[in-house]
Amino acid sequence: MPYLNGKPLIDWFHSPECDFPAEISYAVPSRLAMLLESGELDAALLSSFEALKHPEFHIAPDVSVAARGEVQSVRVFCRKPIAQVKNVALDTSSLTSAALTRIVMDEVYHLKPQYEPRPPDLDRMLNDFDAALIIGDLKLFETPVSEIIDLGEAWFRLTERPFVYATWLVRPEAVSGPLINALLQAKNWGLSHLADLSSHWSNEMRLPYDRCRYYFERVMRYSLGPDEIGGLNLFREKCIRHGLISAKTIIEPASLD
User: Could you report the per-residue pLDDT of 56-82, keeping only the tens digit for each?
Assistant: 899 999 999 999 999 988 999 999 999
Q: Inform me whether the pLDDT recorded for 2 exceeds 70.
A: yes
Same structural domain, 59 and 175? yes
Which of 159, 189, 222 lies at the terminal end of a domain, its last residue?
159
Residue 251: the pLDDT is 61
Residue 53: the pLDDT is 86
Average pLDDT value for the chain: 91
Same structural domain, 138 and 170? no
Q: For a pLDDT cut of 70, what percent of the chain falls above it?
A: 93
Comparing 21 with 257, which gets the higher pLDDT? 21
Residue 92: the pLDDT is 87
Q: How far is C-alpha 9 from the geometric centre of its chain's CA atoms?
A: 13
Residue 94: the pLDDT is 80
Which of 159, 181, 205 lies at the terminal end of a domain, its last residue?
159
Residue 250: the pLDDT is 57
Residue 136: the pLDDT is 76
Contacts of 134 (CB under 8 A, 6+ apart): 75, 77, 91, 120, 122, 125, 140
| pTM for this predicted structure | 0.90
Same structural domain, 166 and 154? no
Q: Is residue 112 part of a domain?
A: yes
Residue 216: the pLDDT is 94
- What are the b/e assignments for 156-175, b being 16+ CB within 10 Å? beebebbbbbbbbbbbeeeb
> Which of 13-17, 205-209, 243-247 has maximum average pLDDT?
13-17
Q: Is residue 86 part of a domain?
A: yes
Q: Inform me whether the pLDDT recorded for 127 exceeds 90.
A: yes
Range of the domain at 101: 74-159
Same structural domain, 17 and 132? no
168 touches 43 (CB < 8 A): yes
